[in-house]
Structure 1
Amino acid sequence: MTGDAPGPGADGADGVPGDGPAAPPGPGEPHRPGRRPPRPGRTALILGAALLLIAVAAVATVLDDTGPGRGADGTAAPSASPSPSPSGAPTVAGPRPPEIAPELRLGSEDAPVSMVVFGDYRCPYCAAFTREQQPRLVEEYVEEGRLLIVWRDYPYKGGVSERAAVAARAAGRQDAFWEYHDALYADPDAWTGSEDGDDGPFTAIAERLGLDTGRFRSDLADPELRGAVDADLGFALSLGVPGTPAFLIDGEAFFGAQPVEEFEERIEAAERAG
C-alpha cells in the first residue's frame, strides 16, 4: 500500500486523535481512527472482538511449526486440540501467523510468559505505552527472564506509518530494531509530516543512532521488509484487532491504554498459571 489515503483505520473528522498532540488516553481505550473512544454501550461489541481475537490467535499458533513450544506470533503454542472459547463456542482455525524476525523479539525465548504487541507508529496510545509502561515491564520482567515481548506491525493509518514500520525493520538488520522503534515514538514530529517517498527523516534517525546509513537506505528499499510489514497488517486485520495498541499475554487479549499495574497483574497471573 502506498500514500496516505484512508485505510481500515484512517482518521475521520470526529475528534479522534491524529498525528498531532493528543490528550492522554484513558484506561482501556484503544486508538481507533475514525471513531470516538468506546462508550459504555459498546462494551459488548469490544468484548466480542476480544473473544474472537483470543480464539483465532490461539488456533493460529497451533498451525505454526516454526519452533518448539512457541508459535510464530510469540505466544506459547497450545495443545493440538482447540479448546472452547470463553463463551463455550468451539474455536475455528484462523489465519497462519507470519513469521516473526528474531530482532522483533525482546527478551529470552525461554521466558515463561510472552506478550504480543500490535501497534502503529503514529498511534498516540502506542507511544504512551512505549514511553511509560514498556520501560517498567522491561526492567521488572524482560531483564529478569520472565517475559518475552513480541512486536507485530499494525500500520492501519497507511502511508508514513507503513514507511516507519519498514524503517524500524531496516534498523533491525543492524541489531537496532528496539532502539529505532523507541526513537520513532519518542519524537514523532521528526518524521510524521514527511511526504510519501521522503526517507530523509528516517535516515536522520538511523544516523543519530549510529547506524550505517548507506546500508540502512538500501534495506529501506528492500521489498522483503515491506512485504513483512504488509503480512503483519493483513494478519491483524484478519484477526479483527479493533485498534491499537492491542496486547496478547499468553493468548489473553486486551486493548488500549492501561496502567502498568494492569500489565503486572496479567503477567504474574500467566506465570502462576504456568
Structure 2
Amino acid sequence: MRVRLLVLIMLLSLTACTAATPVPSPTAIPRLPTVTPEPLSQSTPTPRIIRLSESPLPVFTPTPIPTPVISADGITTASMAQLGISAEPYAILGDPNAPVTIIEFTDFGCTFCRRHHVLTFPALREEFISSGQVFYVVRQLPVTSPHGDQAALAALCAGEQGKYWEMHDQLFAAGDAWYSDATTARRRIIALATDLGLDSAVLQRCMEHPATQATLARHVSEAHALRVFGTPTFFINNQLFAGAQPIARWRDVLEGGGRR
C-alpha cells in the first residue's frame, strides 16, 4: 500500500502543479485575503480517487440524472451540488443535462494546466462536450505563480462581458506573464482585453471589486473543502481525476463503462 501511494505521488508530481514558494504581494494590484481550508462536512461525500497506477480504470455506475438547477447565479448540476460547488454562470461548456459533469480546478500559471488546455482539451471538447455527453465547468485555483490570481480575476471579469472562454485561451497563451512583475502582468491583462474587444476599464474595475474577489475566494474555498491543493484537478461526477492526462486516458475513463 505504501509503495502504491509513493508511486501515485511521483506520478502526480509529473502531471500537476502544486503551490509555489510564497512570494511578496504585489503593490499595484490588491492581493486576495488568505482562505483557510474548510473541513469536509458530514454531508459532503469523500471523492473516490482514480489512482493513476490502477489498471483497468474504475467505471461509473449509471444512476438517474436529476434535473440541473438554473438560476440567476448560473447552473448547478446534481454532481456540482453533491460536491458543494456553487452555481457557475460563465465558465461552462456543453449541455447541463449531460450524464457526466466534469469540474476542472485550474491555474493560468500552471504549466500542466496549459498542457491539458493545449494538448487534451480540444479533443475532449469535440468528442465529449460538443456531443452532449459531458457538461464542463471550470473553477479557478491560482496556486503556482505570483500573479495567477490576477489572471483568474481577469477571466471571471471577461465572463461578465460575455467572453470568458476567449480570455481563458489568451490567459494560458500568456502564461509567462503571471511570473513577471505586477505592472507587466496588469499591462498584459489590459492588452488581452483590448485585443478581445472588451472594455478594459470596466474589466479593471470588476477585478478590483470585492464581489469578484469574493467569487475567487469561494472557488479556492470549494477546492480546499474537497482537499484539492494542486492543479489541474478534475472531478468526473463525484470521482477525482488528477493531473494533465492524455486524451487516450480520458477516453478510457469516459468510455469505459456507464456514465451518470
1:56 is matched with: 46
In the superposition, relative to structure 1, how do residues 145 and 273 fare at CA in structure 2: closer, same or farther (>3 Å)? closer
Q: In the alignment, which residue of structure 2 is the partner of 1:268?
A: 255
Distance verdict in 2 for CA 1:266–1:205, change over 3 Å: same
Evaluate the alpha carbon distance shift between residue 143 and residue 152 of structure 1 in structure 2; reply closer, same or farther with a 3 A threshold: same
Q: 1:177 aligns with which of 151, 154, 164?
A: 164
Equivalent pairs, count: 207
User: What is the CA distance between 1:191 and its match in structure 2?
Assistant: 4.5
Q: Does 1:250 align with 2:237?
A: yes
Structure 1 match to 2:79: 75
Conservation of the 8 A alpha-carbon contact between 1:27 and 1:257: no
Q: For the structure 1 residues 217 and 208, does the alpha-carbon distance in structure 2 shift closer, same or farther, using more than 3 Å as the test?
A: same
Q: What residue is the counterpart of 1:150 in the other structure?
A: 137
Q: Identify the residue that residue 236 of structure 1 maps to in structure 2.
A: 223
**Superposition pairs of residues 222-233 of structure 1, within 5 angstroms:** 222-233=209-220
SS in 2 for 1:231: helix
Partner of 1:165: 152
The residue that corresponds to 2:55 in the other structure is none
Shift of 1:253: 0.7
Which one-letter code corresponds to 1:56 in the other structure? T
Structure 1: which 5+ runs fail to align?
1-24, 36-53, 59-64, 79-93
Contact 2:109 2:145 in 1 (8 A): no
Q: Work out the CA distance in 2 between the residues paired with 1:234 and 1:100.
A: 14
Alpha carbons of structure 1 residues 127 and 203: separation in structure 2 relative to 1, 3 Å: same
Q: Which residue of structure 2 aligns with residue 117 of structure 1?
A: 104
Check the 8 A contact 1:160/1:196 in 2, yes or no: no
Pick closer, same or farther for the CA change 1:236–1:130 going to 2, 3 Å.
Answer: same
After TM superposition, the score normalised by the length of structure 2 is 0.69
Query: Contact 2:101 / 2:236 at 8 angstroms: preserved in 1?
Result: yes
**Residue 222 of structure 2 corresponds to residue 206 of structure 1:** no
Tell me, what secondary structure is at the counterpart of 2:46?
helix
1:29 to 2:31 alignment: no
After TM superposition, what 4+ stretches of structure 1 lie above 6 angstroms from structure 2?
Answer: 25-28
Deviation at 1:76, TM superposition (A): 6.0
Q: C-alpha offsets along residues 169-223 of structure 1, whole Å, 9 cap, x if unaligned?
A: 0000111111111111112134531317962211111111121223222222221
Confirm or deny: 8 A CA contact 2:108 2:171 kept in the other structure: yes
RMSD: 3.1
Identity %: 27
Give me the TM-score of the superposition, normalised by structure 1.
Answer: 0.66
SS at match of 1:258: coil
Q: How many Å separate the matches in 1 of 2:205 and 2:77?
A: 27
